[in-house]
Amino acid sequence: MAAESEGAIDPIHQFVIEPMFHLGGLTVTNSAAYMIAILVVATFVMIIGTAPKALVPGRLQSLGEVAYEFVANTVRGSAGHEGMRFFPLVFSLFMFVLIANLIGLIPFTFSVTSHIIVTFALAAIVILTVILYGFYKNGLHFLGLFVPSGVSPVLLPLLVLIEVISFISRPISLSVRLFANMLAGHITLNVFGGFVAMLLASGTWAVILSPLPFAMTVALSALELLVAFLQAYVFAILTCVYLNDAIHPGH
C-alpha cells in the first residue's frame, strides 16, 4: 500500500473487506469472492468429483466419499439416526467452514471465517434450527431442556437460570470460538512472517536471526492447518450436539 509503511507489520490489513468488482447490481467484495470460491471448491469435490459414480472411486470421488462418511458418522454418533435429517445442514456447515479455513491458510488470501458476522450467522442458523425444530417436534415439552430432572425444588430456579444462560451462550461460543481461532491464527502467522521480512530488510547483523521467526512461521502453519480442520469439526460436532437437544430434549 503506502510507501511509508513498507516493512512495518500490519497484521490487521488481511481482514479488510474491499470491493473487488461489480456483478450486476451486487458489489463483489473480497469476502464475497472467497465465498464464491468456497462454493466452487465444494461443488468441484462433491458434485463434479462424484459424477463418475465409480464403484472403485478415483481420488476426487474418494475425497467426496470420505467427507460424506466423516460427517455422516459425526451426525450419527452425536445426534443418532434421527439426526440424519439434518445431515445436509451439518455437512454444508462443515464443508463451508473447512474450505473457508483451508483457503485462508494459503498466503495472501482472505479468510471468510475470520469475520465474526459470518461465524455468528452460521451459529444463528444452527441455533434457529434447534429452536424451531425443537418446538415443532416437541411443542412446549422442548422447554424441558431447561429443567434438569431429579433436582430439589429449592435449587431448580437457579439451575433453570444456568441452563438458560448456557443455551443463550451457545451461539456466542460457537461463533466466537471459530472467529477467534481464525483471527488469532492469522494475526500470529502474519506477525511472525512480518518479523522475517523486517529482519531481512534491516540490513544489519540481525539478518542472521531471520530463520528463527521463519521456522516459527512454518511450525505455526502446520498448527493452523490442524486448527483449520479442528475448528470445522468442532463446529460440526457442536451443531450435532445442539440438534440432539432439539430431537431428544429430555435431560
Partner 1 sequence: MASTEQTNTEVGHEGGHASGVFPPFDPSTFGSQLLWLAIIFGALYVLMSRIGLPRVEGILAARKAAHDSDLAEAARLRAETEDAIASFEKALAEAHAHAEEIGQSTRDKLNAEIIAKRKAFDAELTANLDAEEHTIAANKAKAMQNVGEIATESTIAIIQHLTGQAPSAADASAAVSHVSNA
**Contact flag: residue 5 with partner 1 (CB under 8 A):** yes
Contact code string over 166-205 relative to partner 1, x by CB under 8 A: -------------x---x----------------------
- Radius of gyration (C-alpha) of the chain in whole angstroms: 22
Residue from 20, 121, 158, 184 touching partner 1 (CB under 8 A): that is: 121
Stretch that binds partner 1, among 91-99, 138-146, 167-175, 211-219 (CB under 8 A): 91-99
Cell of 203: 540490513
Does the footprint of partner 1 cover residue 61 (CB under 8 A)? yes
Q: Which residue of 20, 43, 158, 173 would you call a contact of partner 1, by CB under 8 A?
A: 43
What does the block give as the cell for 82?
Answer: 434421527
Regarding 133 and contact with partner 1 (CB under 8 A), the answer is: no
- Least distance in Å: CB of 114 to partner 1? 6
The reply on whether position 64 binds partner 1 by CB under 8 A is yes
Cell of 120: 455468528
243 binds partner 1 (CB under 8 A): no
Write down the least CB distance from residue 235 to partner 1, Å.
13
DSSP per residue over 116-176, as a string? HHHHHHHHHHHHHHHHHHHHHHHGGGGGGGGS-SS--TTTHHHHHHHHHHHHHHHHHHHHH
Torsion angle, alpha carbons of 230, 231, 237, 238, to 10: 150
Burial of 12 (0-12, 13-18, 19+ CB in 10 A): exposed
Q: Does 69 bind partner 1 (CB under 8 A)?
A: yes
Q: Which of 60, 89, 191, 225 binds partner 1 (CB under 8 A)?
A: 89
Report the candidate in 90, 116, 105 with the shortest Cα–Cα distance to residue 34: 105
Instruction: Say whether residue 140 binds partner 1 (CB under 8 A).
Output: no
Q: How far is CA 37 from the centre of its chain?
A: 15
Q: Is 46 in the site for partner 1 (CB under 8 A)?
A: yes
What's the gap between Cα 153 and its chain centre?
40
Which residue type occupies 112? V
- Residue ranges binding partner 1 (CB under 8 A): 1-2, 5, 8, 10, 12-13, 15-17, 26-27, 29, 31-32, 35-36, 38-39, 42-43, 46-47, 50-51, 53-55, 57, 61, 64-65, 68-69, 87-89, 91-92, 95-96, 114-118, 121-122, 125, 179, 183
